[in-house]
A and B are shown apart, each in its own frame.
Chain A
Amino acid sequence: MEKGFRIVPELPIWQFDVLLLILVVLFAVVALSIQNLMGAAVVFGAYSFMMCLIWAGMGAVDVAFTEAAVGAGVSTVFVVSTLYNTGATMHRRAGGLGFKLFIGVVVTVAGVFLLSALPDFPEWGDTDSPVNATVAPYYILNTITDSHVPNVVTSVLADYRGFDTLLETTVVFIACIAIYSIMRVDKAKFETDEPTIVAAPRYDPGDSLIVRQTSRFMVPFMQLFALYVIAHGHYSPGGGFQGGVILGASLILLAISFDLKFLLRQWSEKTLMLLVAAGVFLYAAVGLACMFMGGDYLDYGFLDPILPGEKDMARSHGILLVEIGVGITVMFSMIAIHINLASNGRFDRGL
């Protein structure tokens, strides 16, 4: 290509990537073989961070961001809050030699089968590969004129393939109400089921001044950053999912460092669960509004009479609206899931 712009068809710093790959495999093996589940959870979080670095090295910064926020961050917290109620020791049930051989054969055959497709794939970064020659060039060439969004990932996610994102938000919503439906138990029933007197723990981790004050100091910054991530997703990596997860994580941090009651005093069960549904509703309603204004479902361009700016800016603002919807659902789903797991569905006390 002209003007000194050259596409390099190999990994930028291959030594670095090889090191990361080795570490990923190492962490995966350690996470599987470690006996203490709390340890496994932490190692698994580290594994996610390595994956995050690999995505970033490949130039998929949005994916890396999501991996860091969801994979390494909040899902580790969920595992920990589950272990709080189940205990961290595991009883391994080892299969016999025959079983192990069977698994070995299945895994080997599957691996060989998957690898057999490798020579058929296009080169890494090949400009003529089908992926870089079919729909992707359209996105790169037209995202500015279509929707005034420089970050192609955001315009693909929220506009060109906005329907997928509506449904992914619905998936988060379903995950939240499914966990709620499965775990939530009546307080009255719980009080008859279990003894009320619980021996006081020898060391109360909730009673640490340093932890409390540090998190109290950090939470506003986290929330400000999260709002920036949602609002600035048009221009830089980020968007509703990542921002929502960070917002949720900031409140989960408060819940862990203070007490679950501290969080529940501010956010009642009803408010949380209504807000979870509100985000999906906002997204779906923006789509419906487009339909009533005469366009296809989710065609934000038809919102230009009610949104400021021309058609392309209307698309940009439409994207912002749905990203806010995503952010609301994701944030409150994360909090509600955490409360359910940490309090074993009782919504009173817990991690």
Chain B
Amino acid sequence: MTEHLPIIIILGPLLGAVLAAFTAWFRPKLSHPLVFVGLAISFAAALKLVFIVADAGAQKYWLGGWGTKQGHGVVGIQITVDHLNTLLLAAVSGIALLTTLYTKRLVDAELARRQRYFYALFSLLVTGLLGITITGDIFNLYVFMEIAALSSYALIAYGRGRAYMAAFNYLIMGTMGACLYLLGVGFVFAKTGTLNIDDVSAIIPELGQSQALFVGFVLILLGAWAKMAFFPFHGWLPNSYAYAPTASTALLAPLATKVSVYAMLRIMVTVYSIDYIIHSPATQSLVLYLSSIAIVAASFFSLTQTNLKKLAAYFVLSEIGYMVGGAWLANKPGLTGAMVHVVADAAMTSALFMAIGCIVYRLGQAQLDDLKGVFFKMPVTMAAFVVTMAALIGVPPTCGFFSKWYLIQGAAQAGVWHFVAALLLSSLVKAIILFRIIEIGYNRVPHPAIEGNPAIPRNEAPLSMLIPTVAMALGLIALGLVTSTLVNTIISKALPAALTP
């Protein structure tokens, strides 16, 4: 049975979604548990694979039994679980599982009678994201990208009103990204004759200097950047995440962009070798500047926001700058930082949007001015929120500290001081925003402990939302404590051997 684990990761949410689409017409209440069970199976398989990969190395699975044929390479589609993606697979399926629990009440409240296909689309989005992460085939990656993209357009458009326009902008940008990616894959295929990632990476060094391969590389990267909302392709993201239903954002924000970053890492590290970047210093320094600009610009915009959801969306943008920059430092600590941060940031963003969702569920909106007294009303939620913000700022022992530490170390080693400055500035801005929220939530109302002031009634979000939120926030600390173990046993083995230490 263990040999089938890689495909079970995909089949769980895929079949869950299809069955949920059936039951939506007979017993609508069954859709949610079906999707939950599918994701639970997927998470169990992904978790088991983390241990298998740590022990025994990469696991490969050939769909339809079409493996390597003598003299032709792999003729079918291969899915691979190796040191680079196993942690992200577990993170994506785990976060999706918690989010499924979490969104039940939110969906009932926000979408009421319109939720017929919500969970089917939800589960299909997770299928797409897991597929992008697990696949070992560059065209198969494109197909999964389409699955994830189409379902996320629908999930955003569930928000109605301004969400339609936001989803449309995302659709245009996402389609352009997918087109560029596919065109790039075409260029790579024309030069290598295969789509299998292992085979392509074996053939590319033999071809030497090739303009077509370079154009393909640039097109694939531009496609991935449009998908992950990297500067200057970021325009679609803040509105999409702010106007989408909170339940959709809780799934999209932590996972969608991170998986695109993973796709970029996979292309950079495995398909093309990292030498490709080291040998073109002009492109490298251009991308590093773009990353710094992305971080700084997103930080400044987050300072001007008055809506909590939009503010968090700008956090997502600045974190993307961290990861792209870290990857393009192309040295050991930088790449380690980027790889750790993909997982850590997925968890942090998930916890952040879960806490915001709890606030929205009780207060009805998320303007900063509405937060007066929120620390007395929802102490547990706000405790989780503060822990999450601490992780985003990079306070030890949370996971945010370790990934940022690797990134800064990498930047210092490469001598890219503007990236160090951008990272520190971003932490500073997040700290300012945290204190601003504490100031509004704690101090702008009379303290109930003082004699004569009315007590503010406690009004926490329902337990089905609160428990995942607290679990995620505690998970950030737990993830921080095991970071060094993970780096030593798994991530360090995903780094290309050619790198200087």
Taking Cβ atoms with an 8 Å cutoff, the residues of A that contact B are: 113-114, 116-117, 119-122, 129-139, 159-164, 167-168, 170-171, 173-175, 177-178, 180-182, 186, 270, 273-274, 276-277, 280-281, 284, 288, 291, 295-301
CA distance A130 to B203 in the complex (A): 10
Residues A178 and B143 in contact in the complex (CB < 8 Å), given A116-B215, A270-B25, A277-B22: no
Whole-angstrom distance between the Cβ of B301 and the nearest chain A Cβ: 22
Pair B65/A181 contact, Cβ less than 8 Å: no
Q: With a CB–CB cut-off of 8 A, which chain B residues contact A135?
A: 72-75, 193-195
CA distance A120 to B190 in the complex (A): 10
Residue ID in chain A nearest B19 by CB atoms: A281
Whole-angstrom distance between the Cβ of B125 and the nearest chain A Cβ: 9
Residue ID in chain B nearest A174 by CB atoms: B150
Pair B73/A116 contact, Cβ less than 8 Å: no
Residues A297 and B7 in contact in the complex (CB < 8 Å), given A160-B76, A177-B21: yes
Residue ID in chain B nearest A180 by CB atoms: B117
Residue from A120, A133, A277 within 8 A of B18 (CB atoms): A277
Q: With a CB–CB cut-off of 8 A, which chain B residues contact A131?
A: 189-190, 193
**CB proximity to A under 8 Å, residues B31-71:** 61-66, 69
Q: With a CB–CB cut-off of 8 A, which chain A residues contact B198?
A: none
Main secondary structure of the interface of B (DSSP, over half): helix
Pair A117/B18 contact, Cβ less than 8 Å: no
Residue ID in chain B nearest A172 by CB atoms: B150
Residue from A162, A177, A288, A296 within 8 A of B11 (CB atoms): A288
Residues A178 and B4 in contact in the complex (CB < 8 Å), given A113-B218, A135-B72, A284-B11: no
Main secondary structure of the interface of A (DSSP, over half): helix
B236 within 8 A of A: no
CA distance A348 to B139 in the complex (A): 40
**A-B contacts besides A181-B114, A288-B11, 11 pairs, CB < 8 Å:** A116-B211, A119-B211, A134-B192, A134-B199, A137-B72, A167-B147, A170-B14, A177-B120, A182-B164, A284-B11, A296-B63
B118 within 8 A of A: yes
Whole-angstrom distance between the Cβ of B404 and the nearest chain A Cβ: 35
CA distance A161 to B72 in the complex (A): 15
Residues A284 and B72 in contact in the complex (CB < 8 Å), given A181-B114, A277-B22: no
**CB proximity to A under 8 Å, residues B100-156:** 113-114, 116-118, 120-121, 124, 127, 131, 139-140, 143-144, 146-147, 150-151, 153-154
Pair A174/B157 contact, Cβ less than 8 Å: no
Residues A167 and B121 in contact in the complex (CB < 8 Å), given A116-B211, A120-B211: no
Pair B147/A160 contact, Cβ less than 8 Å: no
Pair A182/B157 contact, Cβ less than 8 Å: yes
Pair B75/A177 contact, Cβ less than 8 Å: no
CA distance A291 to B4 in the complex (A): 9
Pair A274/B64 contact, Cβ less than 8 Å: no
Residues A178 and B121 in contact in the complex (CB < 8 Å), given A138-B75, A160-B75: yes
CA distance A168 to B118 in the complex (A): 20
Q: With a CB–CB cut-off of 8 A, which chain B residues contact A295?
A: 65
Residue ID in chain B nearest A295 by CB atoms: B65
Q: With a CB–CB cut-off of 8 A, which chain B residues contact A117?
A: 187, 211-212, 214-216
Pair A113/B215 contact, Cβ less than 8 Å: yes
Pair B192/A296 contact, Cβ less than 8 Å: no
Residues A298 and B63 in contact in the complex (CB < 8 Å), given A167-B143, A178-B154: yes
Residue ID in chain B nearest A175 by CB atoms: B150
Q: With a CB–CB cut-off of 8 A, which chain B residues contact A270?
A: 25
Q: With a CB–CB cut-off of 8 A, which chain A residues contact B75?
A: 135, 138-139, 160
Q: With a CB–CB cut-off of 8 A, which chain A residues contact B218?
A: 113
Pair A121/B147 contact, Cβ less than 8 Å: no
Chain B's interface size range is 35 or more
CA distance A131 to B194 in the complex (A): 7
Pair A171/B143 contact, Cβ less than 8 Å: yes
CA distance A277 to B20 in the complex (A): 10
Pair A297/B118 contact, Cβ less than 8 Å: no
Whole-angstrom distance between the Cβ of B235 and the nearest chain A Cβ: 15
Pair B154/A280 contact, Cβ less than 8 Å: no
CA distance A316 to B383 in the complex (A): 60
Q: With a CB–CB cut-off of 8 A, which chain B residues contact A274?
A: 22, 25
CA distance A182 to B163 in the complex (A): 11
Q: With a CB–CB cut-off of 8 A, which chain B residues contact A298?
A: 63-64
Residue ID in chain A nearest B140 by CB atoms: A164
B2 within 8 A of A: no
Q: With a CB–CB cut-off of 8 A, which chain B residues contact A134?
A: 72-73, 192-194, 199
Q: With a CB–CB cut-off of 8 A, which chain A residues contact B158?
A: 181-182
B418 within 8 A of A: no
Most buried by B among A122, A167, A175, A298: A167
Residue ID in chain B nearest A116 by CB atoms: B211
Q: With a CB–CB cut-off of 8 A, which chain A residues contact B63?
A: 162-163, 296-298
Residue from A113, A138, A301 within 8 A of B72 (CB atoms): A138
Residue from A113, A161, A171, A281 within 8 A of B76 (CB atoms): A161
CA distance A163 to B78 in the complex (A): 10
CA distance A281 to B124 in the complex (A): 13
Pair A171/B146 contact, Cβ less than 8 Å: yes
CA distance A121 to B191 in the complex (A): 7
Residue ID in chain B nearest A269 by CB atoms: B25
CA distance A157 to B73 in the complex (A): 18
Q: With a CB–CB cut-off of 8 A, which chain B residues contact A276?
A: 21
Pair B193/A130 contact, Cβ less than 8 Å: yes
24 A-B pairs in the complex with CB atoms less than 8 angstroms apart:
A113-B218, A116-B215, A117-B211, A121-B212, A130-B193, A130-B194, A130-B203, A134-B193, A134-B199, A135-B74, A135-B194, A160-B75, A161-B76, A162-B63, A163-B63, A163-B64, A163-B77, A164-B140, A178-B150, A178-B151, A180-B117, A182-B157, A296-B61, A301-B65
CA distance A248 to B197 in the complex (A): 37
B210 within 8 A of A: yes
B15 within 8 A of A: yes
CA distance A288 to B131 in the complex (A): 17
Pair A161/B77 contact, Cβ less than 8 Å: yes
Type the 1/0 row for B75-100, where 1 means its CB is closer than 8 Å to any CB of A: 11100000000000000000000000
Q: With a CB–CB cut-off of 8 A, which chain A residues contact B187?
A: 117
